[in-house]
């Protein structure tokens, strides 16, 4: 059972593999990839951080002081917790993200017990999750997973979508 990166390498194709969990992982990868493709990786990283700062400022009025659960799968139930890049970004905007983990499974009971201010639904089809949380009086906010779950500068687009969904309502 050969890993696809090993297979590509066997054909002489350069492969870059990086585990992206935390915000610092993402920052380092932006710099490294920038350098690998002949750009100034440090400059790319700084540009990303500047834009990220702008996006978190826009989110602050909408999330400051709120307890948030960031759902990335409903069946099974997985969340992006406080120690994930998504959790860290929302924490920078003033939210309190639970649980104190990176990407982890949780039970529906955990979510109900936490009584979040809202649940972010980064799901392809969120109808079942919306109906579930609505039954228990928990606000849910939909955001398309295409950008926000992409650990790259694309996450900035996802934050803009989240801000539109969360701050307008």
User: Is pLDDT at 169 greater than 60 in this prediction?
Assistant: no
User: Is pLDDT at 6 greater than 90 in this prediction?
Assistant: no
User: Is pLDDT at 131 greater than 70 in this prediction?
Assistant: yes
pLDDT digits (tens, 9 = 90+) for 55-102: 999 999 999 999 999 999 999 999 999 999 999 999 999 999 999 999
CB atoms within 10 A of CB 94: 15
Tell me which residue has tokens 């003033």.
Answer: 94
Residue 15: its pLDDT value, please?
Answer: 84
CB atoms within 10 A of CB 37: 10
Q: Which pLDDT band, with edges at 50, 70 and 90, does 1 fall under?
A: very low
Cα angle 107, 115, 92 (rounded to 5 degrees) comes to 95
- Torsion angle, alpha carbons of 126, 132, 136, 142, to 10: 0
């Amino acid at each position: 059972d050969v890993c696809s990166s090993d297979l590509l390498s066997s054909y002489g194709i350069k492969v870059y593999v990086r585990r992206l969990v935390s915000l610092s992982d993402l920052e380092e990868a932006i710099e490294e990839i920038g350098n690998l493709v002949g750009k100034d990786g440090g400059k790319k990283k700084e540009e990303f951080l500047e834009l990220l700062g702008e996006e978190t400022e826009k989110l602050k009025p909408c999330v400051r002081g709120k307890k948030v659960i960031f759902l990335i799968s409903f069946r099974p139930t997985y969340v992006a917790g406080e120690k994930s890049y998504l959790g860290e970004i929302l924490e920078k905007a003033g939210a309190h993200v639970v649980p104190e983990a990176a990407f982890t499974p949780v039970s529906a009971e955990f979510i109900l017990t936490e009584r979040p201010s809202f649940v972010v639904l980064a799901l392809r089809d969120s109808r079942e999750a919306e109906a579930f949380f609505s039954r228990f009086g928990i606000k849910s906010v939909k955001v398309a997973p295409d950008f926000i779950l992409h650990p790259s500068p694309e996450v900035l687009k996802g934050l803009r979508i989240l801000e539109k969904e969360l701050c307008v309502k």
